[in-house]
């Protein structure tokens, strides 16, 4: 796929959704961090159902740490892997308090030093909370990038590197959200909704559909 076609794809995605954003509910960078930690192998809907009460009762690192492990688990027990996530959240709260003045750090190195925070989570935080041009490749973005021919790759890191190289600079800030929403609601795994796709004419997958 050439650069002109990639640009047209993002032009179409922007036209369809000029102001994309995360579907996770949060009020502060700290709450965003916790929501993203909880979202691993879980849906945004399930996370939002749990965090609405959690963030009301414990909106800061200090108040969340004060909950303790047992009480924190009570808030997030409906979310997959909640035992491990609860432990990582409390360790993260402690590090934020002790090493970052209760603020979420704004560098990849500092973020990835927090328990449970990997490259994808760090990319989400850097993009949403700090406005950096990062692209967090999850299962949706990995699938869309390969299926469309936008940035094909065998690994998440390969797809991320190609997206960062091929996505025009003017679209990089919101590319993560456009692609994840496109994969979540249109370019779905089992039955892609090609008839409702705003970029179908530009997608390499259409040749397979036509066969």
The residues that are catalytic are 120, 138
CB 89 within 8 A of CB 116: yes
State how far the Cα of 148 lies from the Cα of 199, in Å rounded to an integer: 9
105 phi, psi to nearest 5 deg: -70, 155
State how far the Cα of 80 lies from the Cα of 156, in Å rounded to an integer: 22
How distant, in Å, are the alpha carbons of 170, 188, 211 from that of 208? Answer: 30, 15, 5
State how far the Cα of 180 lies from the Cα of 63, in Å rounded to an integer: 32
């Amino acid at each position: 796929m050439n650069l002109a076609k990639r640009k047209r794809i993002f032009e179409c995605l922007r036209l369809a959704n000029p102001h994309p954003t995360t579907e996770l509910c949060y009020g502060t960078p700290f709450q965003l961090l916790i929501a993203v930690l909880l979202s691993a192998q879980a849906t945004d809907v399930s996370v939002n159902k749990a965090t609405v009460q959690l963030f009301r009762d414990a909106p800061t690192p200090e108040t969340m740490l004060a909950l303790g492990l047992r009480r924190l688990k009570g808030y997030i027990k409906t979310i997959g892997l909640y035992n491990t996530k609860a432990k990582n959240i409390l360790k993260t709260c402690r590090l934020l308090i002790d090493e970052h003045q209760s603020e979420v750090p704004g560098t990849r190195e500092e973020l990835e030093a927090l328990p449970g925070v990997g490259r994808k989570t760090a990319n989400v935080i850097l993009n949403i909370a700090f406005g950096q041009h990062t692209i967090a490749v999850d299962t949706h973005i990995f699938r869309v990038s390969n299926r469309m021919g936008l940035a094909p790759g065998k690994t998440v890191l390969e797809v991320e590197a190609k997206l960062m190289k091929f996505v025009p600079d003017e679209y990089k800030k919101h590319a993560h959200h456009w692609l994840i929403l496109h994969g979540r609601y249109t370019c779905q795994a089992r039955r892609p909704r090609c008839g409702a796709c705003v970029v179908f004419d530009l997608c390499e997958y259409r040749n397979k559909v036509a066969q």
